[in-house]
Chain A
């Protein structure tokens, strides 16, 4: 089977890899590039654990072939913190205990960041709908929603959380 040569930018770094055509972007991120923050939950686009950004769009990396990444810009959970400085969402997830086993957390963080980047003041309903494709079996979502809304308020420099 012939391998394809793919050139991408991942978390700001020009990155090249060779891959077989049937591999998903998630397969290559985890197994080839050792970026194991993105998780494999369902492999069918239902759970959101593999969420990444492709050219500024939130996508499931399990629903994209790695070869499709040619020429595109990818951001993963590994690019979210700046060195030891956590992104405010990561800090708030810790403060609110918005995780238990942590398996869904990278996907939720990537998805929540995508929301706040386009809407700095989302309502709770908007936040719940936006994150409907990220499944969590531990925390029951409420703490996640509190953490996201609290982050949004902090980033806006406001104490009020949208209703």
Chain B
């Protein structure tokens, strides 16, 4: 017996979720949830649609920082020119999720809370030091995106909690990000490996800050501090990129599956990290 409700405020949603007698699922874009409902993988008693709550969909810029509503569809993210200028890697990652049709619905909160190790937007958000605002009966907390997924299909959200928005920080000059994913075709597939890189450069082009994150090579997206350390203090020459490649490969703990073997994923992770770093570096060089 499934029921559906679409509260119009965050407080109402929190109360409904806290008082729900059985299993409740929060619905944003639904592009994962509806597939799971149909397959029987999830059998909730109640669906709480958060899209009628003001602010859940849309992007706001505040003093150079961005707030993205939890249920903002990928298509809307892709059309936000200001966001694309400052966070091109986050936008390209969000826009890689599914087809044009899926982009019309799929959201960052859904991509994160579905907790697939191969979720495209997650490495880019972590590389960007994005945080998310989690609400529930015990109040409101802002946490780093990387603290949410704990394993395939599992998150650190407590029962009744949900994400209301994502925050992307203000960017220093000469900063940019990039996300690359490897799939054996050009569209409509799930990442074999994903790599998100964010850098800030000094006027000479050396990295003063870097974040390197890999997807689909461990139970969750992984931040790789050793790979970032390989970049910091350097411009990108072959020695630096080789060190980045090495560090990225060392961090991989992938599985063998139909998309790729452990050995293959590990090698590709190094290549994707290198290429994403080169793109982020180029973008940062032209961004003042």
Residue numbers of A with Cβ under 8 A of B are 1-2, 4, 20-22, 24, 43-46, 48, 51, 54, 57-60, 62-65, 67-68, 70, 111, 114, 129-134
Chain A residues with CB under 8 Å of B98's CB are 45, 133
| Pairwise interchain contact B30-A64, C-beta atoms closer than 8 A | yes
Q: Of B31-39, B191-199, B221-229, which stretch is located at the interface?
A: B31-39
Chain B residues with CB under 8 Å of A62's CB are 34
| 22 chain-A/chain-B pairs, Cβ below 8 angstroms | A2-B3, A4-B4, A21-B3, A21-B4, A45-B31, A46-B188, A54-B104, A57-B73, A57-B105, A59-B105, A62-B34, A63-B105, A64-B30, A65-B27, A65-B49, A68-B6, A68-B49, A68-B51, A132-B187, A133-B98, A133-B100, A134-B99
| Pairwise interchain contact A67-B100, C-beta atoms closer than 8 A | no
Chain A residues with CB under 8 Å of B51's CB are 68
Q: How many residues of chain B are within 8 Å of chain A by beta carbon?
A: 27
Contact status of A67 and B4, CB under 8 A, knowing A48-B101, A132-B187 = yes
**8 closest A-B pairs by CB:** A133-B99, A21-B4, A132-B187, A57-B104, A59-B104, A60-B101, A44-B35, A133-B101
Contact with A along B187-217 (1 / 0, CB 8 A): 1100000000000000000000000000000
Q: Nearest-CB distance from A20 to chain B (Å)? A: 8
Chain A residues with CB under 8 Å of B2's CB are 1, 20-22
Chain A residues with CB under 8 Å of B105's CB are 57, 59-60, 63-64
Chain A residues with CB under 8 Å of B186's CB are 129, 132
Contact status of A132 and B99, CB under 8 A, knowing A62-B34, A68-B51, A70-B6 = yes
Q: Which of B30, B47, B75, B104 contacts A21, CB < 8 Å?
A: B47
Q: Nearest-CB distance from B58 to chain A (Å)? A: 13
- Tell whether B286 is near chain A: CB-to-CB under 8 Å: no
Q: Nearest-CB distance from B124 to chain A (Å)? A: 19
Closest to A24 in B: B34
Q: Which of B35, B47, B101, B187 contacts A59, CB < 8 Å?
A: B101
| Pairwise interchain contact B38-A43, C-beta atoms closer than 8 A | yes
Closest to B189 in A: A132
- Tell whether B243 is near chain A: CB-to-CB under 8 Å: no
Contact status of A130 and B34, CB under 8 A, knowing A57-B75, A59-B105, A67-B4 = no
Contact status of A58 and B104, CB under 8 A, knowing A46-B188, A65-B47, A129-B187 = yes
Chain B residues with CB under 8 Å of A111's CB are 100-101
Given contacts A131-B100, A133-B102, 10 further A-B contacts (CB under 8 A): A21-B47, A44-B38, A45-B34, A58-B100, A58-B101, A58-B104, A60-B102, A60-B105, A64-B30, A133-B187
Chain B residues with CB under 8 Å of A2's CB are 3
| Pairwise interchain contact A133-B73, C-beta atoms closer than 8 A | no
Contact status of A130 and B100, CB under 8 A, knowing A44-B35, A64-B105, A65-B34 = yes
Within 8 A of A (CB), among B98-116: 98-102, 104-105
Q: How far is the CA of A24 from the CA of B105 in the complex (A)?
A: 14
Q: Nearest-CB distance from A23 to chain B (Å)? A: 10
Contact status of A45 and B101, CB under 8 A, knowing A62-B34, A63-B34 = yes
Closest to B47 in A: A21
Chain A residues with CB under 8 Å of B187's CB are 129, 132-133
Q: Nearest-CB distance from B182 to chain A (Å)? A: 17
Within 8 A of A (CB), among B55-100: 73, 75, 98-100
Closest to A48 in B: B101
Q: How far is the CA of A73 from the CA of B113 in the complex (A)?
A: 28
Chain B residues with CB under 8 Å of A48's CB are 99, 101
Q: How far is the CA of A63 from the CA of B34 in the complex (A)?
A: 6
Chain A residues with CB under 8 Å of B6's CB are 67-68, 70
Chain B residues with CB under 8 Å of A57's CB are 73, 75, 104-105
Closest to B73 in A: A57
Chain B residues with CB under 8 Å of A58's CB are 100-101, 104
